[in-house]
Copies of this chain bind each other. A is one copy, B any other.
Amino acid sequence: MFEFEIAARDGGARAGRLITPHGAIETPSFVAVGTQGTVKAVSPEELRAIGVQVIIANTYHLHLQPGEDLIEKLGGLHRFMNWNGPLMTDSGGFQVFSLGAGREHGVGKIAPIFPEEEARLRDRGGHFRAADGGKPLVKVDEDGVEFISHLDGSRHRFTPEKVIQIERKLGADIILVLDECTSPLHDYAYTKEALERTHRWALRALREFERADDGRQALFGIVQGGAYRDLREASARFISSLDFHGFAIGGSLGKSKQEMLQVLEWTVPLLPEGRPRHLLGIGEIADIFAAVQRGIDMFDCVAPTRMARNGALFSREAEAFRLHIRNARYRDDPRPVEAGCGCYTCRNYSRAYLRHLFEAKELLAMRLATIHNLYFLEELMRQVRAAIREGHLAELKREWLP
């Protein structure tokens, strides 16, 4: 029920189509993040109208609340959340990392995504700590990982098998194995140790998956190894050697954009040509171009939706593509967020109205902003796919990033 066809190539970039039991995904594709079984602030119908093709929910969050047994009983996650298109579940590896090393080291999954974050990191000597000193809430051992719920402090254990069992109950089309994310601040020795464990976990996950495989789900392996070349290469080789439907690149992508690109350049060439490649947690416009040019087919990121809820709206006219709608200069601006944009928000509302909604703390503000940001990104992806088919990706990139 899964097929991946590559229709066109432009340099390292590929345009293709991934077929799932709930429909096809045209690639390269942005995957909208719906952590708790809803893409924050928008409805499934709005996502469809925007052109969102696939959503990624989270195993960690849904396990804790409302629980996979409940979702299974109610007919699975597709039905539960009223989304009958392609659906993925992330394994929860990153969430566990956030509670553990991420917390301890005060860093996110990857190199700081935002320039402001980068600056903040630099200001604090390379990292910052959680408010409570960053006490880790996680213990990793060979069997799996024990963690404390961020919701109620209860104790839980994830193993590679358990995560597959949860994801089977959730029933997404594409599911990911449990991995151990390392931090950019972990040293080589620890990163290697964690990587080897992640590889053993990958084997166990695959075995558990195959034990009850009914052909309705595809399992993606995850390449780890931090920003260390030999580890990334070893991981790409090992994970590629296993019978996964596709491959994700996860974990620390180094401390800078430059390092992230290096990780891709070390890793992607070692992945099988004919299978889809997902870059976890990336969504900046420059990063999208860079990743697609290096052969990435899918990626997900909370940034577009989170930014929207904070009033940062994508615009090609604004610095760093971000129009900060709360800025006083938009107070009486009758124009749409982005001239010529075809999204519901831009077709119907002025910047002045959006700013008013944000100032007045109205719920509609977050919805309208999220619709715009997702549409903007989907429109970019439509252009990217068309450019690959026409062999113009480099030109398109120059047009977007002069």
Contacts and interface: CB of A to CB of B under 8 A. Distances in A.
- At the interface, is chain A mostly helix, strand, loop or mixed? loop
A155 to B, nearest CB: 20
Interface stretch (A38-46, A100-108, A117-125, A242-250): A38-46
A352 B36 contact: no
A364 B65 CA distance: 16
Given A82-B348, A332-B74, A366-B363, A356 B41 contact: no
Contact of A360 (B65, B364, B366, B367): B65
Given A43-B367, A350-B80, A363-B367, A331 B74 contact: no
B38 A352 contact: no
A349 B66 contact: no
A352 B40 contact: no
Interface residues on A, range: 35 or more
Given A332-B70, A332-B73, A41 B363 contact: yes
A48 to B, nearest CB: 13
Interface of A: 36-38, 40-43, 61, 65-66, 70, 73-75, 80-82, 331-332, 334, 348-350, 352-353, 355-357, 359-360, 362-364, 366-367
Given A41-B363, A66-B352, 10 more contacts: A37-B360, A38-B360, A38-B364, A43-B367, A70-B331, A70-B352, A74-B334, A80-B352, A80-B356, A82-B349
